[in-house]
Every structure is written in C-alpha cells, then in structure tokens.
Amino acid sequence: MKFYIATDHAGFALKEFTKEILHSLGHEVVDLGPYNDSRVDYPDFAKKCANAVASDEGSFGILICGTGIGISISANKVAGIRAALCHDAYTASMCRAHNDANILAFGERVVGKGVVESMIKAFCDTPFEGGRHANRVNKIEDEVCSLGADL
Ligand code: RB5
C-alpha cells in the first residue's frame, strides 16, 4: 500500500516511528512534513495529505496531531477523503470495514507506540466490506446523508 503521511508539531515525534512501522510492513511512504518540530498549523498539513490521497487513486494517508481531532476534521473537508480518528485496533479496523476510510488519524498525546502499531496493522489488514456499507459511503460522497430512524 502507498501511504502519504503528515503531522503538525504535536504529532511530529510519532511520525518517524509510524514510518518505521509502515516500512517494516512493506508499505511505500511519502513524508509530506513537517521536517522539524517547529510550531505549524494542522490544517495546512491535513490539506497536503488529503489532496495527495484524493489525487492518487488507491493511496492512503496517515495524519497525526496532538489529539488527532483538528487534523482529521481538516482532512475531511477535501472531497473524496474519509479520515477516521482512531484510538485502538478495533476502530482502525472498523473504519476500513464499514467506512472505507482512506486516512487513519490519531493523536500523539492520546495513544502510545504499541497502540499505533496495532492500529496500522488493523487498518492495513482490513478490507472494505462493501454492500450496504457502500451505499452509506456513497451518501457521504453525495453530501445527501440524512440520518434517519432506520440506521
Ligand atoms: C496543538 O497544540 C494541538 O492543538 C493540535 O495538535 C491538535 O491536537 C488539534 O486538534
């Protein structure tokens, strides 16, 4: 799999470890920065990664900030991006199985290295289930998802 990765300053320290894990699993990694721990704004790096994933069919992304919240919210503004803020292997697996997530987001101040490794493995090993989930994902893309009683 091909991964674009970006962080802000609060996610910078986990970037090298995350890259090591991806490389050890045989994945291709494109590092979109930042390249030092100077203070930056997470929307700028979310946008770089989201645009790269959206324009490179079949690719995936990893985004890290302090909580994972700001950087995932920002990435989800880009058409075609489904960035999932995950906290454990279960959420990392389910975001692929049910949501066809193409970006895995997490918070350096929230999860440790062991959890990061388990999330990456779960994300990479889980295929999208399609079927009824595809209908729902299509509704996200169409921006016509109205939350009804029979979810
Ligand atoms: C930076 O201090 C922090 O606000 C940012 O990394 C992120 O957690 C925002 O959602």
User: pLDDT tens digit string along 15-48?
Assistant: 999 999 999 999 999 999 999 999 999 999 999 9
* Closest residue CA from atom 7 of ligand 1: 66
Please, what CATH class does the domain formed by 2-150 belong to? Answer: alpha beta
Q: Using CA atoms, how far apart are residues 23 and 13, in angstroms rounded to an integer?
A: 17
Q: Which of 67, 73, 110 to mutate to test the pocket of ligand 1 (most atoms within 8 A of CB)?
A: 67
The continuous run of DSSP H or E covering 65 comes out as strand 60-65
- CA-closest residue to ligand 1 atom 5: 66
What is the per-residue pLDDT for 65? 98
Residues with Cβ within 8 Å of 43's Cβ and at least 6 positions away in sequence, in order, are 70, 71, 74
What's the CA gap between 17 and 86, in Å, rounded?
Answer: 17
Rounded to whole angstroms, how far apart are CA atoms 151 and 141? Answer: 17
Tell me phi and psi for residue 117, to 5 degrees: -60, -45
**Is 65 an annotated catalytic residue?**
yes
Marked catalytic residue, from 65, 86, 95, 124: 65
Atom of ligand 1 nearest to the CA of 67: 8
How far is the centre of ligand 1, averaged over its atoms, from the C-alpha of 63 (Å)?
Answer: 12
Quick: pLDDT tens for 39-91: 999 999 999 999 999 999 999 999 999 999 999 999 999 999 999 999 999 99
